Amino acid sequence: MSIASEAGGTAPQSAPANASRRRFVNIILGTGLLASAASFLYPILRYLVPPKLPDLGADAVLAAHVSELKPNSGKIFRFGSRPGLLIETAAGEYHALSATCTHLGCTVQYRADLREIWCPCHNGMYDLDGRNISGPPPRPLEAFQVQVRGDDIFVRRKQVA
């Protein structure tokens, strides 16, 4: 009979029981650390790899009504998931282009005072056909087809032959 059991205390635990308890504690701590690391890294990964915006794949949209625009003005409209720019020139012609600057993707706008398309981010300029004429934009804006039906102005992607 051991001294501990004579004194009413508990017997010293065996080495296998201690190892089993230590393993259990290590598993709990390891799981906690993994969960903490995952909760820290997940938002960073979501930020670095943003979800793809569904391209609505719009081939033709109603951009505006004839009565909305006046000569020498422009209007931003939604073309799929991106902005488009519809311009009515002083002569009454319509031009429709992508409104996403080819430099760093800012939204361009029509400048009635210059009668050109302007990107406010880095002062890029395009002519009414979307050609990049000054500033940093490296490529022209994508031009769209315009079709007027009654009071509706439809814009569609140009068909590639």
Q: Which residues bind ligand FES (CB under 6 A)?
A: 101, 103-104, 106, 119, 121-122, 124, 135-137
Select 84 or 153, whichever has its Cβ closest to ligand FES. 84
Give the list of residues 6+ apart from residue 67 with CB closer than 8 angstroms, or none.
Answer: 151
Select 70 or 139, whichever has its Cβ closest to ligand FES. 139
CB 96, min distance to ligand FES, A: 19
Select 76 or 146, whichever has its Cβ closest to ligand FES. 76
CB 111, min distance to ligand FES, A: 13
Select 83 or 136, whichever has its Cβ closest to ligand FES. 136
CB 101, min distance to ligand FES, A: 3
Give the list of residues 6+ apart from residue 4 with CB closer than 8 angstroms, or none.
Answer: 10, 11, 12
Select 61 or 97, whichever has its Cβ closest to ligand FES. 97
Alpha-carbon distances, residue 143 vs 25, 86, 121, 157 (angstroms): 65, 10, 21, 8
Distance CA 92, CA 55 (A): 31
3-state SS assignment for residue 32: helix
CB 94, min distance to ligand FES, A: 23
Give the list of residues 6+ apart from residue 122 with CB closer than 8 angstroms, or none.
Answer: 103, 104, 106, 135, 136
Quick one: how far is CA 138 from the chain centroid? 21
CB 114, min distance to ligand FES, A: 15
